[in-house]
């Protein structure tokens, strides 16, 4: 189904997810039909690890992504004994997730004998200098004070490579570079040196193309107009056959939806790239100028000529920052005059915010939701079925957040007629900034958990 297995000289690696909320089925299809040497689940976005650190610190939940356990359960029945699994779903607690994976494997008939390792050391909260400049600002890390939640460096492939060399079948990491997660098993297979940017250029390029999973097979490419992609409802995820000379051919499982073409690969090649001549990753500074992209068959694209210009002396650090509270309150109005009553509700709250509470009404955002979108199906030009008046506030003042909730709820009987279904929510938010840290201040290491 995957269009032929890899040759002895190539290494086949598949993308099991491109973010924490990705679909399950494409990974299961790859595991069953892909004849994979490795399957990688990329699960961390910029804010994800900051939120995970916040959960762990507040005892509000695990510091890792529990959804990975479901992903692993889904692919285990189909994995070949040789297939290695890597993921950064360890987030703020790679060891915790690794232990949970050990328990899962012990209880699963296909889990016996698989060894699990955790890669730690990306957490540099205690190591990042207080005078480190926050990117794009005149502020330093020290200026954040007690707002600092987390600081995690984007580490390279080296520690994960050591884990694989030590016999790990499942490798759990935290904040690795996305491409590094894929580069590690490729480099180990071909005997490439993680200290050599030239040798790490090809696997890093492959990792960059695979890291967003369905984006490479047309999901983020499709616009339904000029760029038409077939079968988006059954989008398949990509794999790459990587040869010993670094040339890679990308494909997807036969029968799945989506598209791999020169255009989809080119878009992903330039995704999140500010300087194609100097794309900095932990393992290599890639020069994408000479990269060749050739269609060699239906849904089959060859990528070659990766090169590097050394590697950065500093690593990027993702810094989580307490960003106050987001309070949201909404109430619905239905039937004739729904829009007018919803608008009146918004005016009432903003007037009270100013004249009763003496606060700036500009700090409250007011929106109408549903106007022109929820009309009865049989009256396409009639009154909207429902309009929701929504007010939101970003603030560091919990008292102000509670006040907004009270004002919205009071509209039941103190505002326009017919209000109902009030919905209130309050959450503490985490913002993300970045800085850099000298490479020698970061010490990734491997913990064999089983």
One-character DSSP codes across 17-72? ESSTT--SHHHHHHHHHS--SEEEE----HHHHHHHHHHHHHTSS-SS-THHHHHH
Answer for the pair 310, 285: CB distance below 8 angstroms, yes or no. Answer: yes
Which CATH number among 1.10.287.130, 3.30.70.1150, 3.40.50.970, 3.40.50.2300 corresponds to the domain 320-433?
Answer: 3.30.70.1150
pLDDT of 347 higher than 90: yes
Rg, C-alpha atoms of the chain = 25
**Picking from 50-59, 133-142, 267-276, which range would have the lowest pLDDT averaged per residue?**
50-59
pLDDT of 145 higher than 70: yes
Answer for the pair 91, 65: CB distance below 8 angstroms, yes or no. Answer: yes
Q: What is the pLDDT of residue 8?
A: 62
Nearest partner of 182 among 4, 9, 8, 17, judged by Cα: 17
Q: What is the pLDDT of residue 14?
A: 98
User: Euclidean distance between the first and final Cα of the chain, in Å?
Assistant: 34
Q: pTM of the predicted model, to two decimals?
A: 0.91
Coil, helix or strand for 101?
helix
Q: Where along the chain do the CATH 3.30.70.1150 domains lie?
A: 320-433
Answer for the pair 297, 250: CB distance below 8 angstroms, yes or no. Answer: no
Dihedral sign for Cα atoms in the order 156, 178, 95, 82? negative
Q: What is the pLDDT of residue 45?
A: 84
Q: What is the mean pLDDT of the chain?
A: 94
Q: Bridge partners of 170?
A: 85, 116
Answer for the pair 421, 332: CB distance below 8 angstroms, yes or no. Answer: yes
pLDDT of 387 higher than 70: yes
Answer for the pair 329, 421: CB distance below 8 angstroms, yes or no. Answer: no
Decide which of 3 and 22 is more confident. Answer: 22
pLDDT of 59 higher than 80: no
274 — pLDDT class (breaks 50, 70, 90): very high
How many CB atoms within 10 Å of residue 270? 12
Q: What is the pLDDT of residue 170?
A: 98
What is the Cα–Cα distance from 447 to 443, expressed in whole angstroms?
13
Q: Give me the torsion for CA of 353, 357, 362, 363, rounded to 10°.
A: -100
Type and span of the H or E element at 425: strand 419-438
Q: What is the pLDDT of residue 151?
A: 95
- List Cβ<8 Å contacts ≥24 apart for 219-224: 219/258, 220/267, 221/259, 221/263, 221/264, 221/267
* DSSP H stretches of helix in 178-244: 178-190, 197-210
pLDDT of 46 higher than 90: no
């Amino acid at each position: 189904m995957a269009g032929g297995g890899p040759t002895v000289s190539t290494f086949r690696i598949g993308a099991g997810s491109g973010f924490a909320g990705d679909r399950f089925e494409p990974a299961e299809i790859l595991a069953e039909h892909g004849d994979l040497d490795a399957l990688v689940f990329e699960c961390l976005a910029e804010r994800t690890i900051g939120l995970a650190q916040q959960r762990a610190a507040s005892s509000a939940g695990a510091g890792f992504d529990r959804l990975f356990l479901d992903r692993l359960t889904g692919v285990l029945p189909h994995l070949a004994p040789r297939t290695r699994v890597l993921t950064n779903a360890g987030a703020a607690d790679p060891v915790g997730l690794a232990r949970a994976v050990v328990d899962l494997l012990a209880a699963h008939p296909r889990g016996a004998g698989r060894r699990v390792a955790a890669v730690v050391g990306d957490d540099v909260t205690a190591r990042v200098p207080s005078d480190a400049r926050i990117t794009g600002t005149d502020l330093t890390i020290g200026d954040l004070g007690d707002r600092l939640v987390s600081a995690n460096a984007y580490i390279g492939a080296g520690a994960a490579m050591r884990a694989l060399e030590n016999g790990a079948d499942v490798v759990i990491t935290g904040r690795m570079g996305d491409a590094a997660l894929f580069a590690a098993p490729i480099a180990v297979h071909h005997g490439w040196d993680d200290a050599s940017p030239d040798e790490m250029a090809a696997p890093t390029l492959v990792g960059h193309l695979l890291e967003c999973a369905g984006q490479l097979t047309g999901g983020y490419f499709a616009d339904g107009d000029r760029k038409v992609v077939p079968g988006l409802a059954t989008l398949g995820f990509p794999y790459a056959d990587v040869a010993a000379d670094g040339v890679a051919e990308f494909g997807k499982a036969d029968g799945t939806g989506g598209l791999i073409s020169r255009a989809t690969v080119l878009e992903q090649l330039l995704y999140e790239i500010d300087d194609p001549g100097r794309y900095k990753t932990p393992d290599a500074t890639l020069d994408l100028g000479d990269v060749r992209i050739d269609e060699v068959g239906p849904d089959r694209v060859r990528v070659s000529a990766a090169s590097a210009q050394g590697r950065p002396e500093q690593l990027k650090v993702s810094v989580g920052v307490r960003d106050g509270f987001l309070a949201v309150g909404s109430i619905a109005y239905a039937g004739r005059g729904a829009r007018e009553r919803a608008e009146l509700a918004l005016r009432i709250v903003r007037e009270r915010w100013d004249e009763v509470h003496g606060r700036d009404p500009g700090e409250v955002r007011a929106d109408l939701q549903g106007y022109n979108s929820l009309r009865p199906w049989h009256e396409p030009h009639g009154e909207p079925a429902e309009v929701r008046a929504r007010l939101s506030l970003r603030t560091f003042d919990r008292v102000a957040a509670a006040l907004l909730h009270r004002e919205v709820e009071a509209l039941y009987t103190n505002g326009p007629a017919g209000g109902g279904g009030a919905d209130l929510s309050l959450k503490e938010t985490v913002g993300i900034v970045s800085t850099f840290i000298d490479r020698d201040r970061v010490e990734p290491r491997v913990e064999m958990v089983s």
